[in-house]
Structure 1
Amino acid sequence: MSVTSFPLTTDMLLADVIAGDGEAIGRLAGLNPVFAVLLEPEHKNAMAGQIRLGEAARIAEVPFDILCAVLQGRLSAAGIGRPDASGHAGPAAGAPVGDWFEQALSQSAPHLDVRPLLASGQDPFAHVMSTAARVPPGGFMVVDAPFDPAPLRRVLAGKGFTSLGRQLGAGHWRICWRREEPAGLDDAAQPPVPEPRRGPEPWQAADGTHLDVRGLQPPEPMTRVLDLIDAGTAECLVLHHDREPVFLFPMLAERGWSCLSVEHLEGEVRVTLAREEW
């Protein structure tokens, strides 16, 4: 079965379009093998459900009409001409660029290469989001990827990041993210202080629901967080933990939640989580 029953537009979600088409992933992988990693259910890639058709065409490095023809089985990926590697994707309109890559290098900004992770079938989303949460205002983060990660750029844009991308070669993009300075901050604001242990029952505060899982043995911290989120009673969750819960982030993404910040304080790691608004 191929996708032929409805017209395709750039803003459609790829996962919705190929649902029920058992051969679609194979056809897409003929354009770019990374689709097999992104879309295979067994890999549980956190961003797979957010890829739009226009973004899929950019990942495949083909015009949108070519992508549609391959999706619909009207055209084989074999023999399609590939563009050269001179393209680039810039930041949001009006955003200052400057020498971002040079600034990131001079600041020893974190630099992640997610290509080996994707090649081995691993999802790099949690690693990227964990690193992004530690980037200070005005700071940078650089990621090397096998394609322009438009869904990830969109997610991080919602968290105050502007991005600049450069295609360095076939299957090699480098994206530089800059966390914008928040407006209207009080310079005299005091840094957060560690929270006294409250026990495992959640409580409400002005900034949302709080949950203290310090001292609990795995997998109880993860279970308590997921149970609270699945109950549907919280929109923002401040988690007080003994360590950074990197294995929790992909499960949160599957539920429409993301990490807003990670603060390493004396005696606790404070993680602020929020439900995404799409």
Structure 2
Amino acid sequence: MSMQENVRQLDVRPQLHRKLDPFQLIMKTVRELGREEMLILHATLKPVPLFGLMKLKGFASRTEQVGERYWITAFLHKSQDQARLAGLQLNRWAVPHLEDEGSAVGTEEETPAGREGEAGGAARDQAMAADHGRADLDNRGLEPPQPMVRTLSALEHLAPGGTLTIHNDRTPVFLLEELHRLGYTYQSVTQADGSAIIWILKPAT
């Protein structure tokens, strides 16, 4: 990680190449950001699951594919001058890693008023079912960090006192740590096939 020009960089490609979930590291970095700092995230995929969650946290984003399996995304808090984001050339931050080399393919922007990421939007839609009081998410088959991001996004939209039931490929250790930190009550039950069903109760206040 490096910092310059009010920019903090985070490269999670090593974790993704090893099939590790970088969500905890990303959220830790977001919590440490100064209000004027921009986060430059390096990843092996377009971080669609993060767009909705970061929007809820008040961030706009701009993303660019700079190589095969190499995406750079910038996040900037909406309280800051968005011209910084609009005029940013993300490929200037490109750093080759393993096989991630190639030319830029395209650039997209996600602003606070823009659309949410597909995974975040799907989680929100399901969380708003049944009068916002109960929702179910099937996270099986999704690559990290999508299960964790979808779950936290759904909880953001769930009504206080509501319950969310999720089904994951395995016990989501990092998610359970985050739920504990946020003050949620939960119960996790491992199924015969190794998957896990977790019932989560959102605090009433």
**TM-score (ref. length: structure 1):** 0.29
Q: Rg larger in 1 or in 2? A: 1
RCO greater where, 1 or 2, for CA within 8 Å and sep 6 or more? 2
**TM-score (ref. length: structure 2):** 0.39
Which one has the bigger strand percentage?
2
